[in-house]
Amino acid sequence: MGQPRFGTDGIRGIANAELTPELALAVGRAAARVLDGHTFIVGRDTRRSGPLLQAAFCAGIASEGVDVVDVGVLTTPGVAFVSEVRGVPAGVLSASHNPFEDNGIKLFAAGGAKLATEVEAAVERELEAIICDPQRAPVRPTGARVGMISPDPSAVTHYREHLRRSLEGRRLEGLKVVIDCANGAASEIAPDTFESLGAEVTALSCRPDGCNVNDRCGSSHPGQLTRVVRELGADLGLAFDGDADRLVAVDHTGAVADGDVLLALFAGDLAAQGRLAGNAVVVTVMSNLGFRTAMTKRGITVREVPVGDRAVLETLESEGLVLGGEQSGHIVFRDLATTGDGILTGLAVADLVVRAGQPLAELCDGLIERVPQVLVNVAVGDPGRLDEAQEVWDTVAEIEAQLGGTGRVVLRPSGTEPVIRVMVEATDEAVARRAAGRLCSVVEETLGKAAGSLR
């Protein structure tokens, strides 16, 4: 992957190899300088490398004279919530849905929002300058002006109360829920929150050991969840990723409801209540064409943005909208949170099922008529060369011409992994698969096949 730098969701890489303590310390220094302020909130997920990298990151911040509040293991949206309430910047040590050997640093501006593009660029420029000259001005403070690092276990309690308040006093009695916490940051808070609201909870993958986060569990691997939901006759299954900023739901039959389905459910529910601001929902280019068709039939406008929850949030903010998200399960209720929140989304699903008095399967039945969509991650030697790979784009143009107006192609480098993401939609699945296979071959040939398989 090379030395990690900011992607669509912060800095990410193999802990202690690509994302080293030295780099984490430099990121802390750069963030303290650019984001400014007297205090910085820092949390982490459950990865083995978390305490190591958090110590270095916090040391970098404190070395610039900024106090650090360590909230311990807390979900990414939980850290963003604390940042919003206290009006100070924040950072999270997490690699989200990636394997445990990876880690990352996500930054939030004061108020809990993802960094604006220009602010992130300023942090990266300062980071590069610090790496090139660790002693560059300004001179670091000494004595009583050195930043303090202090724990604050109460942050988890405040975030849990915020989650419960999202139901506006409603309860979940009678609902039998299976929750897969991916052995991540939601392992304690998610089961406890649902139980406190009256749900009967069976918790899976909630015993993190530092090495089992996202390991054949969680939102990227819902097989275990679907099996247990069926075996127990549960009403609902909910799966989070390592830092619980995304959610995948499972109905009582074991069918998976991804971000597109959940967004369609929420959009319809909010519109019926007169609470869907602008009568619009924000999605990324990866959302299925079937979602757009479903929204059009219901008279709901779809705003399409580039991949990444930051793009979704920027549009929600600029247009005064309240609902947006990604097919992967990042869903933002902007009137309740500053970022995607898997637990909050799970509560919203459970609440909708209880209020409707219908199983999730019935609520989702016929909601979206999906266009066959093929998604492939192609591990390549140099994803950064995609823009200049003319042979690849010529192939994209040929495929789009063949599909006409009945399909589409999306090709982009991942912002979190060393891959090119290939997506092809067509009314015929076989056509989509052939087109995706052809495009993947051209991508590998042009950009160089990566050594080893995709992690």
Pick from 48, 47, 41: which is nearest to 242 by CA? 47
Of 190, 188, 169, which is closest to residue 72 (Cα–Cα)?
A: 188
Rounded to the nearest 5°, which phi and psi values hold at 13? Answer: 180, 180
For residue 340, give both structure tokens.
């995607």
d(C-alpha 254, C-alpha 262), whole Å: 15
Which value, to the nearest 10 degrees, does the dihedral of the CA atoms of residues 34, 37, 43, 49 take?
40
Residue 63, classed as helix, strand or coil, is coil
Six-digit token string for 223:
């097989």
Q: Rounded to an integer, what distance in angstroms lies between the CA atom of residue 174 and that of residue 189?
A: 20
Phi, psi angles (nearest 5°) of residue 434: -65, -45
**Structure-block tokens of residue 403:** 């599909």
96 catalytically annotated: yes
- Please report where in the chains the tokens 């039945």 appear, as a residue: 365
Closest CA to 27 of 122, 117, 116, 114: 122
DSSP classification of residue 91: E
Please say whether the beta carbons of 207 and 62 come within 8 A: no
Among residues 49, 96, 220, 287, the one annotated as catalytic is 96
| Cα 271–Cα 275–Cα 281 angle in degrees, nearest 5 | 60
Catalytic residues, by residue number, are: 96
